[in-house]
Amino acid sequence: MAITREQRQNFTRISEPYKQQLDDLSREHSMLNGVLKQDAAMAPYVKIRQAMLSLQKSTLYIRLDAFSQKIQN
């Protein structure tokens, strides 16, 4: 099923805040990789935080998928 221009614009409008959040989470994840390289003693804490960030990103992707399906149907 092809989507219309209106559906695509609606999804873009709805998804923009989520994409910003995903970018922020990705930046934090990258920053934590730098911390890992600088201080090996922080590794357990950094790994836990990275796991939390990954779960947050997964949740946002699931929401985006739900919006996409809702708009297409």
**DSSP letters along 43-54, please?**
HHHHHHHHHHHH
* Contact (CB, 8 A) for 35 and 47: no
* pLDDT the model gives residue 3: 79
CA–CA separation, 27 and 10 (whole Å): 26
Segments of the chain with pLDDT less than 50: none
* pLDDT the model gives residue 1: 61
* pLDDT the model gives residue 29: 96
* pLDDT the model gives residue 13: 92
- Other beta carbons within 10 Å of 46: 19
Angle between helices 5-38 and 43-72 (to 10 degrees): 180
pTM comes to 0.82
- C-alpha closest to that of 59 among 16, 20, 22: 22
